[in-house]
Structure 1
Amino acid sequence: MLIRKNISLDDKYLKKLEPLLEANNGNLSAAIRDTIEVADTALIHHNNIDEAILFLKEIPAKEKLNVTIQNGENIVINKTMLEWLFRCTRGRLTDEELVNELINPFEIQDMKQLEDYLNRISRDYQWRIRTSIKCENVSNPESAMVIISNSTVYSRDFFAQLVAHFLSRWKQLDIDHVFRRSNSTQISFKKNTSTSSNEIMPGIRKHLGYLDVVCKELDENTEFWTQLMYTYNVERFNLVTLHRAQFEVFATGEVPDPIKTLERLCKQSVSDMSLPDLLVQFRRMYLATQLVKNIEISLESGSESVTIFHDFKDERVIRNLTEYFSKIFRENGTPFETSLYSSIIVFRFFQGLESDGSDLC
């Protein structure tokens, strides 16, 4: 049965119908019938027209991805497996070759182009990651905020690493802060001209590559570190890490000088360090050596202190250990007094006071 109805179409819809009009020799009714057939087919597997349109728009990207899979450029990987890989490689830095393969520097001139490029490759690879970049100068920014949304925190960290490498290499931007939320990761960047663009920026290593040096060392000396970690585990970490020269002095019954070792690790002279910085570095280093059981520090201005917990019984050992640590604090120049208890050594500092008695060092 043929039913005639009048319809109104704007020019924009007539232009969309032009391919079908040409295919039907200008017959509008035939073109509309073809349109209805296409819409009916599209709606078979979708709940509404918007969902169907979105699916059809994604088809070219999916077809392009299928081509790269067929030619071996990409592979299909289980999502759970990929998340496991991202989680287990978190804290390690990717190679520059991988960054350049995913983010082509020759296609990007400014930050707006970078944002568009990142969102495009995310769509092409079906990553479902959204990137937003905010900065005042898109060509040569002094600072920038990159917001990576959707996906998981492990996927976002990996993606953030690619972006950070690119900005470091081509815009000399380093990471200042990283804010991780449930559905987004915000990374603030600032200009860093003191580090060569060919080197890893310190902020990138701190926030995203904090395990990189460790993992490379494990890869290069696997047998040594495997045995060492096994030994530590079996002995429940009741082992001490001490410089060979210091051990030799301790073995003779004398007290070695720990200052040079601490300065090498801190890359700063002990005498030039502020007392709070020294106490923080002191705690970090000597907890790692397992020389004592625990170290507590108080950084309250004017009443700084260090409380060291140990389980040594021999008074000579305790006395030598106290002198060993005292050498560091004397080098810093802040007067202090020492109190010894059965399993505790306490150093109390008096900034602004001069040593005038035997109780102060």
Structure 2
Amino acid sequence: MVLRKHIALEDEHLKKIEPLLEKHKGNLSAAIRDAIDLTDVALQYYGSVKDATFLIATLREIREDQAIVPKPIFDYMLTQTQDLIIEKEVLDHVFDPSEVTIVSEFEEAIRNLCTGLYWDALISMTADDDQSPSSVHAEIKGIDDDKRKFLAGIIGSYLISFSLGITEMRSHLDTLKIDFEQRASPNEAYNDLLKNVGCMQETVKELHAKPEFWRSLIREYSAANYEIVALHRKFYEDLLIGKVPRAIMTSECLCEKLSEDIPLQEVLLDLKRVAETSRIVNRMDIDGEDITIHHGYRSMRAVDQLKNIFLCMLESAGLNYDYQITSNVIALKHQPEVETKIRELLEYVGVEDVFDVPLRKLSLFLKEKNINSDRHMRVFGRRIGRQVVHTYEKQYGEVWTGDKFKDALARIDKIPGRESEWDVRGSIAHYTVNRCPLADDAEACHVCRGIFRGAMHCAFHGMAELEVRKLLSHGDKYCEVYVHGIG
């Protein structure tokens, strides 16, 4: 049945359907029917005339740097780029910085991007200031987890230009909530983004930089069922000359990072990560502040050395642990009370004789707590040695020589009744003690030798080597010590 209706059209609308009028040789009714059919398709597939107009316009404007990709291939590419982020330089081709300058404009632009990708994503961004935000709260919902994280990376990359870094990400059901806060620099904000969204970014960068190296390494590890230990070249060199490495790292980054300023749990997690990935141990379990190391070694001598390495690393972070060893595990128990007591007694360094009141107080404390004193006395000494070095560096700089090392230790070597002398020649220091009132006091000797070792390792970053030839406490007529590699 044909219905006749009167419609009003302006010249603007007639111009828009001119191609249809030409097709139907001026038949306006036929042209209108074609237009209605096109609108019907648009509403069926795109939901609204506005969305259809946007998408059709986008398709017409595809440039050489754009492409239409079949959905299965696009989904595969999205999966393969999980935990990677799109760099800001790439995003600038999608979101023109000259056109997208404030948060609300970016919010609209990323919504349009989702529309173009046929994603039913609901995105909201709330900023405390649209032009110069110091905090932004973003929510993404309505799509699967891979797509939400992909969009989170895009949002995070854009907000780096405002030095906004991710403080928290919360995912619940189909909603991802992200909080951004002001950071000191864009670089710090970028590191937040890598930590939360792009944890594989640096890894993939290295894989692409040296593909043959990593292919070979992966083949070797796989063939050996990962029973391969990775060591830094410096530590391997120590093994070749019969020395026990003071660390377990594949690199020196953790050695440099360990300090008393690092939170305990962060130290333990970093130690676990490096110990397990370098395959030094089979597994390292963390229970609160205590550690259980499943070592997998048959030689108890090797296990004992491994225990010393772990204790040394923890001590570098100002942490005191006691230990128990079995054929299968090394159990390390945290001793926070000892740490507190040692920090308290370190206040005496440079103020009064550490071998007098401080030593007696620590000895009494350990006896009252029924804690074996030998190791903790050595730790106390090494902590004193490091403090002596740090104090000296504040006045004389961080470049060390044999003469400076001698001068630094001479300041704490003024023990009444001790007769000692130094001889520094090139990269070797020769230290002798001909008479010492502490020789018969085992605890004082532990502290004294600890001071020497702690200062040496701190000043020369573990590169110097200590050679003990004689000790009064062992029945020798004098103490004789050489320090090699200090030039």
TM-score range, shorter chain: 0.7 to 0.9
Shift of 1:209: 1.6
Match of residue 137 from structure 1: 129
Distance 1:75 1:22 in 2: 32
Shift of 1:345: 1.0
Contact 1:83 1:154 in 2 (8 A): no
Shift of 1:160: 2.4
Contact 1:90 1:158 in 2 (8 A): yes
Q: Secondary structure at the match of 2:10?
A: helix
| C-alpha distance 135-341 of structure 1, shift in aligned 2 (>3 A) | same
Deviations, residues 338-359 of structure 1 (Å, cap 9, x unaligned) = 2111111111122113545347
Identity across matched positions, percent: 21
Which of 295, 299, 320 is equivalent to 1:310? 295
Look up the equivalent residue of 1:294 and give its one-letter code: R
Distance 1:20 1:251 in 2: 91
| C-alpha distance 54-172 of structure 1, shift in aligned 2 (>3 A) | same
Are 2:50 and 1:57 aligned? Answer: yes
Are 2:208 and 1:219 aligned? Answer: yes
Distance 1:21 1:254 in 2: 89
| C-alpha distance 215-141 of structure 1, shift in aligned 2 (>3 A) | same
Distance 2:165 2:46 in 1: 41
Distance 2:46 2:235 in 1: 73
Match of residue 168 from structure 2: 177
Following superposition of structure 1 onto structure 2, how do residues 1-361 of structure 1 map, counting pairs within 5 Å?
17-19=8-10, 37=33, 41=37, 51=44, 54-69=47-62, 72-169=64-161, 171-192=162-183, 194-195=184-185, 197=186, 201-258=190-247, 264-265=253-254, 268-299=257-288, 304-353=289-338, 355-356=366-367, 357-358=372-373, 361=376
Distance 2:236 2:48 in 1: 69
Shift of 1:294: 0.9
Higher normalized contact order (CA 8 Å, seq sep 6+, divided by chain length) = 1
**TM-score computed with the length of structure 2 as normaliser:** 0.60
Distance 1:322 1:221 in 2: 35
Contact 1:133 1:144 in 2 (8 A): yes
| C-alpha distance 279-18 of structure 1, shift in aligned 2 (>3 A) | same
Contact 1:263 1:269 in 2 (8 A): no
Distance 1:219 1:92 in 2: 14
Deviations, residues 189-229 of structure 1 (Å, cap 9, x unaligned) = 1111x22x367621111112211111111101111111111
Contact 2:232 2:249 in 1 (8 A): no
**TM-score computed with the length of structure 1 as normaliser:** 0.79
Distance 2:128 2:263 in 1: 36
Contact 1:259 1:327 in 2 (8 A): no
Contact 1:175 1:190 in 2 (8 A): yes
Shift of 1:332: 3.7
Q: Secondary structure at the match of 1:297?
A: strand
Deviations, residues 275-316 of structure 1 (Å, cap 9, x unaligned) = 4332222222211211111111222xxxx3211112211222
Which shows bigger deviation, 135-144 or 231-240?
Answer: 135-144
Look up the equivalent residue of 1:152 and give its one-letter code: D
Distance 1:292 1:153 in 2: 35
Shift of 1:95: 3.1
Structure 1: stretches of 5+ with no match in the other structure: 6-13, 24-32
| C-alpha distance 207-334 of structure 1, shift in aligned 2 (>3 A) | closer
Deviations, residues 95-128 of structure 1 (Å, cap 9, x unaligned) = 3332101111211332222222222343345444
Look up the equivalent residue of 2:124 and give its one-letter code: S
Look up the equivalent residue of 2:56 and give its one-letter code: E
Q: Secondary structure at the match of 1:132?
A: strand
Q: Secondary structure at the match of 1:325?
A: helix
Match of residue 345 from structure 2: none
Deviations, residues 147-195 of structure 1 (Å, cap 9, x unaligned) = 22333332332232222111111x2211122233453332211111x22
| C-alpha distance 44-352 of structure 1, shift in aligned 2 (>3 A) | closer
Q: Secondary structure at the match of 2:202?
A: helix
If you compute each CA radius of gyration, which structure gives the higher value, 1 or 2?
2
Look up the equivalent residue of 2:57 and give its one-letter code: K
Distance 1:289 1:309 in 2: 14
Q: Secondary structure at the match of 1:107?
A: coil
Distance 1:3 1:218 in 2: 69
Contact 1:242 1:289 in 2 (8 A): yes
Distance 1:321 1:183 in 2: 47
Match of residue 29 from structure 1: none
Contact 2:249 2:274 in 1 (8 A): no
Distance 2:284 2:262 in 1: 19
Q: Secondary structure at the match of 1:185?
A: strand
| C-alpha distance 54-266 of structure 1, shift in aligned 2 (>3 A) | farther
Contact 1:92 1:210 in 2 (8 A): yes
Contact 1:337 1:359 in 2 (8 A): no
| C-alpha distance 323-44 of structure 1, shift in aligned 2 (>3 A) | closer
| C-alpha distance 255-266 of structure 1, shift in aligned 2 (>3 A) | closer
Q: Secondary structure at the match of 1:141?
A: coil
In the alignment of these two chains, the number of paired residues is: 333
